[in-house]
Structure 1
């Protein structure tokens, strides 16, 4: 009986907690606004991380590939200057579960697959601005407001 239980549980031990709990992608709603606060739908947005790029229209929700690396977003629309943003990648509960429960192997697997990380789920880019979105300030059911990026010297 114990041998059968060990065999049944082995896949979960070696895949990691976040891999079992989280998919490799998660939804992210992309909205764009003018500097005056007016919503603009249909802008062409490109989302890029180390796994590649996807294109989405503003106002839509994209399935974003999870990664430990930040996500760069650029939205363009002919009547407005580009809207640029960076979404910060943060460890999610699956990663912390691995660490707390001693799943060192699982933490490594989840880190390498990106499933241990999550981006904000709803962002509002502003045309003419470069913003940073950090999901630590996210409130469920509300768009995350970005902070203006500070240019490095």
Structure 2
């Protein structure tokens, strides 16, 4: 009986000192990037590169910029914002102050936005703009409008030049 009590206390201690999001989500996430048309080069500020469609492992806590290039299409970039997710509120509600600190520090309670990244590229020689699509293919916003909405926040981590605040 004494061993069972010790095991229960040890398990509760481990749970209390680790963050729930760290346990459930981890600090990385599979991040999918797609373009219309397929086959664009995607270059991330993390140094990762792929041809679309592709899925890369990304840090949840890291803002990014991805530059997209395809022959016959205007080059564009999308700012990827690391946002606080709902897991942190679970820590607070369940009294896991230590867990909230752990999750906040390692970024496991964050999510990347937009995710997945689906971009309809704009053809060169047209007045069209690149747009973000949802998983059903519906236009969510222009890439420019999205970048404008997150630019100041993302600039804090990737710098004003990469965020498009400076030439």
The TM-score normalised by the length of structure 2 is 0.67
The whole-number CA distance in structure 2 between the counterparts of 1:145 and 1:28 is 18
Structure 1 or 2: more strand by fraction:
1
* 8 Å contact from structure 1 (residues 71, 87) kept in 2: yes
CA-CA distance at 1:2 after TM superposition: 3.2
The residue number in structure 2 matching 1:62 is 56
The aligned length equals: 137
Change (3 A) 1:73 1:146: farther
Match of 2:38 among 36, 41, 49: 41
Extract unaligned runs of 5+ from structure 1: 33-38
The whole-number CA distance in structure 1 between the counterparts of 2:25 and 2:63 is 18
Task: Give runs of ≥4 in structure 1 deviating > 4 Å.
Answer: 128-131
* 8 Å contact from structure 1 (residues 83, 126) kept in 2: no
The TM-score normalised by the length of structure 1 is 0.72
Match of 2:15 among 12, 36, 43: 12
The whole-number CA distance in structure 2 between the counterparts of 1:78 and 1:124 is 18
Higher relative contact order, structure no. (Cα contacts within 8 Å, ≥ 6 residues apart) = 1
Change (3 A) 1:104 1:93: same
CA-CA distance at 1:85 after TM superposition: 0.6
Structure 1 or 2: more helix by fraction:
2
